[in-house]
A = this chain, B = another copy of it.
Amino acid sequence: MTVHRNDLQLDAEGRLRHFLSIDGLSKTLLTSIMDTAESFTGVAERNVKKVPLLRGKTIANLFFENSTRTQTTFELAAKRLSADVLSINIATSATSKGESLLDTIRNLEAMHVDMFVVRHAASGASHFIARNAAPHVSVINAGDGRHSHPTQAMLDMFTIRRNKGDFGDLKVAIVGDILHSRVARSQIHALNILGAREVRVVAPRTLLPTKVEQLGVSAFHNLDQGLRDVDVVIMLRLQKERMRGALLPSEHEYFNCFGLTEDRLRHAKPDVIVMHPGPINRGVEIDSRVVDGPHSVILQQVSYGIAIRMAVMSMAIHSEAKAAGGGAG
């Protein structure tokens, strides 16, 4: 049997080996991640919220960039899979004594760590680690620079699927700072791979990449028009630093033009759902009444974030075991 190994993320049999970016993955694989997450949503509601799938495995959280929330969800996901978790404080570790990133990785591999969860301010950092990792190690990208945040995108897709079913009929608007957002980039890829009917980005010109249409989206600079008849609105967090960076006028003016209110939401379909990756700036990119209102599925996203991370972790490790089995057979 000839198998074409088309991607760093997949093994020779096409199964997940690393999870680095949505780009390049198939609809089948994204669907199978969501199907696996489906089986984990029940675990969180059980009396004993643990499954022994990753017992005796060691997972190292390498957070070069601080993100308590994302780190917490990965740690929880790992513990609910019964893995042992090491949280390496990179700022005070050997890398700060002048050791190279690669030497740090080699050392952790020698300690028989099975998986790295990597957060880094530089785009491509987790690809670099995956490319240089030992065969027994899997790498999960927990956000790299402006590039990719694939588990966030997958929990968003899972939230959409659980609320809306099939993607083929859906119009989705992503609103906010598209230019600097790794989340938006990953969402756009995922929505297109899963076959969403229309993906819109809504933002002032200064916060849109040039030639954004080439990503497979339609661009809007007017919120009311961008929201017209959509099934899903995804709000992005506005980094307040952008205000100081002269890319934007005042917070107040931004909210007037692009802040999501109950009034504006009436342009969307009556059963629209509203999403936000958090943390939320209430009153900046979104009005509190929308956050807490009937269309909001923001807290569902948080819950499903655990299930998606459990899915990705168990699939990537599983794949490695399978590959070893396949190699021996």
Contact = CB atoms under 8 A, between A and B. Distances in A.
Interface string A292-329: 00000001101101100000000000000100000000
Interface residues of A, number: 51
Interface stretch (A22-30, A118-126, A138-146, A273-281): A273-281
Given A68-B88, A72-B88, A282-B100, A299 B58 contact: no
Nearest to A89: B68
A48 B58 contact: no
A111 interface: yes
A240 B97 CA distance: 10
A200 interface: no
A112 interface: yes
Interface in A46-85: 46-50, 55-58, 66, 68-69, 72-73, 75-76, 79-80, 84
Given A56-B48, A86-B75, A106-B299, A92 B111 contact: no
A166 interface: no
Given A48-B57, A110-B302, A112-B303, 18 more contacts: A44-B111, A45-B112, A49-B112, A50-B84, A58-B79, A68-B88, A69-B94, A69-B107, A75-B86, A79-B84, A94-B279, A98-B279, A99-B278, A99-B280, A103-B280, A109-B299, A110-B299, A111-B306
